[in-house]
Amino acid sequence: MEGFIQILAQGGFAVAVAAYLLVRMESRLEALTRALQDLQVILARLEANR
């Protein structure tokens, strides 16, 4: 949290908010990536069974 406050003081509010949102979204982006990879595997299997 101290690092976040330093960023806020040095870089401004907009930079701090952008960094916070990127950190929060990282896990969601990773989950979305895994879901898309799983979908790709499933679609490949379906195509192979045709």
Alpha-carbon distance 2 to 9, whole Å? Answer: 11
pLDDT digits (tens, 9 = 90+) for 8-25: 677 777 877 888 888 889
Whether residue 7 is predicted with pLDDT greater than 80 in this model: the reply is: no
Q: State the pLDDT at residue 31.
A: 94
pLDDT of residue 5: 76
State the Cα angle at 39 between 34 and 44, rounded to 5°. Answer: 130
pTM, two decimals, is: 0.56
Query: What's the domain count of the chain?
Result: 1
Residue 18 lies in domain: 2-48
pLDDT of residue 41: 96
Percent of the chain whose predicted confidence (pLDDT) is above 70: 94
- Residue 16: how many other CB atoms lie within 10 Å: 17
